[in-house]
């Protein structure tokens, strides 16, 4: 916990952006839920491999599509085949160019998506592409670029078939994970693809907790939730806050906070947080990882704040140690945060704190 401009106590947050050294690792829990999480991680790795296979085909289609029209127009003008007239050459060439452009667009967005999100996009687009390209197949002999476009489409269809199967299995496993975690409430939720838990070391026997407050079991990219809390501060006031989080392709991030603070005399003030940059909670934390994040805390109305400050934080994986808990074996991860709080007048305060997490071990 740290004091935010002496107006409210703002919880210290693990937030991750510009991840420098993260890697995805399977969960090795010794319970059924951990086994399911491992299977989900395996399917997600398969989807990432399929993404790597699909992108070059999409890029190749994007390059060849625009050149089809010229080749078909030439073939029609030379009378190479009675099935191709100049007007038809124009129409079919425009279709090839459109499909090529759509495939190129999907390729350009691939680096912004994880394998799962990319696979959903590909599976959704393939049927329309197939329907548009099938009538052009008889003309492949008269256009080298059309032949390349059709070949790319066939390869993408094969990738899509594999991706659809992996997506179906992953989604079924996600439902099973949610049911398993609900039936085993003593184990905190593992959602958003996270492979670790939060760790409460305030008591002699450390206890597991969700890495993110109110994390829903089996949450997937695009899911969003709000955690409502109320707590008292040292000056006797009460803070009622709503913190909103969302799953991303890389893990989870915080969307923001809205808070109302009520003082002992009955007066109130508003404040909150916004403009979080990057992924706050990565799917896994690599040994020795170091990264940075930043956000803005405002005071007053979010539309016309009376004051603002920017949080600039460096996070470092400080140490790890073995940990035995009733749920099994874990590796405790100590993250050390160094924060600069930069005010609107550029004045800077410096604070630091530690947070603990627990990675299941075999």
**Which domain covers residue 269, as residue numbers?**
2-25+187-360
Confidence label for 280 from pLDDT (cuts 50, 70 and 90):
confident
How many angstroms separate the most distant Cα atoms in the chain?
A: 91
Tell whether 280 and 355 lie within a shared domain.
yes
* Total count of residues recorded for the chain: 362
Among candidate residues 72, 181, 184, 54, the one with its CA nearest the CA of residue 125 = 54
276 is a domain residue: yes
Per residue in 220-249, pLDDT tens? 898 999 999 988 887 888 999 999 999 988
Tell whether 353 and 208 lie within a shared domain.
yes
CA 68 to CA 64: how far, in whole Å? 7
Parallel/antiparallel/unpaired status of strands 224-232 and 251-262: unpaired
Tell whether 212 and 339 lie within a shared domain.
yes
Tell whether 234 and 333 lie within a shared domain.
yes
What does the H/E/C string look like for 110-156? HHHCCHHHHHHHHHHHHHHHHHHHHHHHHHHHHCHHHHHHHHHHHHH
Per residue in 28-80, pLDDT tens? 333 456 678 788 888 988 999 999 999 999 999 999 999 999 999 999 999 88
176 is a domain residue: no
Tell whether 299 and 222 lie within a shared domain.
yes
Tell whether 192 and 166 lie within a shared domain.
no
182 is a domain residue: no
pTM of the model: 0.52
Tell whether 107 and 209 lie within a shared domain.
no
Tell whether 214 and 293 lie within a shared domain.
yes
- 362 and 35 in contact (C-beta within 8 Å)? no
Tell whether 151 and 224 lie within a shared domain.
no
CA 352 to CA 313: how far, in whole Å? 9
CA 177 to CA 43: how far, in whole Å? 14
- pLDDT of 203 reads 66
Total domains present in the chain: 2
DSSP 249-286: SSEEEEEEEEEEEE-TTS-EEEEEEE---S-SEES---
Among candidate residues 282, 274, 287, 290, the one with its CA nearest the CA of residue 337 = 290
Tell whether 146 and 232 lie within a shared domain.
no
Tell whether 141 and 226 lie within a shared domain.
no
Per residue in 205-219, pLDDT tens? 788 999 999 998 889
CA 156 to CA 152: how far, in whole Å? 6
């Amino acid at each position: 916990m740290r004091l935010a401009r002496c107006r409210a106590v703002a919880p210290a947050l693990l937030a991750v952006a510009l991840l420098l050294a993260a890697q995805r690792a399977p969960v090795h829990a010794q319970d059924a839920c951990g086994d399911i999480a491992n299977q989900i991680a395996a399917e997600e790795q398969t989807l990432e491999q399929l993404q790597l296979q699909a992108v070059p085909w999409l890029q190749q289609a994007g390059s060849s599509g625009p050149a089809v029209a010229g080749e078909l127009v030439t073939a029609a003008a030379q009378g190479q085949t009675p099935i191709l007239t100049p007007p038809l050459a124009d129409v079919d060439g425009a279709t090839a160019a459109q499909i090529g452009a759509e495939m190129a667009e999907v390729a350009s967005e691939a680096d912004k998506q994880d394998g799962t999100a990319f696979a959903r996009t590909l599976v959704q687009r393939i049927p329309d592409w197939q329907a548009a390209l099938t009538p052009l197949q008889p003309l492949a002999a008269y256009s080298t670029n059309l032949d390349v476009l059709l070949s790319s489409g066939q390869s993408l269809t094969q990738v899509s078939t594999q991706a659809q199967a992996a997506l179906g299995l992953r989604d079924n496993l996600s439902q099973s994970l949610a049911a398993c975690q609900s039936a085993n409430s003593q184990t905190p939720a593992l959602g958003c693809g996270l492979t670790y838990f939060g760790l409460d070391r305030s008591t002699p026997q450390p206890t597991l907790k969700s890495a993110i407050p109110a994390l829903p079991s089996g949450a997937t990219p695009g899911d969003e939730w709000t955690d409502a809390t109320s707590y008292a501060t040292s000056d006797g006031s009460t803070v009622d806050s709503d913190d909103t989080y969302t799953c991303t392709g890389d893990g989870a991030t915080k969307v923001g906070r809205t808070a109302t603070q009520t003082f002992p005399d009955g007066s109130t003030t508003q404040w909150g947080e916004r403009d979080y940059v990057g992924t706050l909670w990565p799917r896994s934390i690599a040994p020795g990882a170091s990264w940075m994040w930043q956000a803005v805390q405002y005071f007053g109305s979010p539309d016309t704040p009376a004051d603002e400050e920017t949080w600039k934080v460096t996070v470092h994986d400080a140490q790890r140690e073995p940990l035995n808990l009733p749920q099994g074996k874990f590796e405790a991860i100590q993250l050390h945060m160094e924060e600069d709080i930069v005010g609107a007048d550029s004045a800077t305060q410096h604070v630091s704190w530690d947070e603990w997490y627990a990675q299941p071990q075999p």
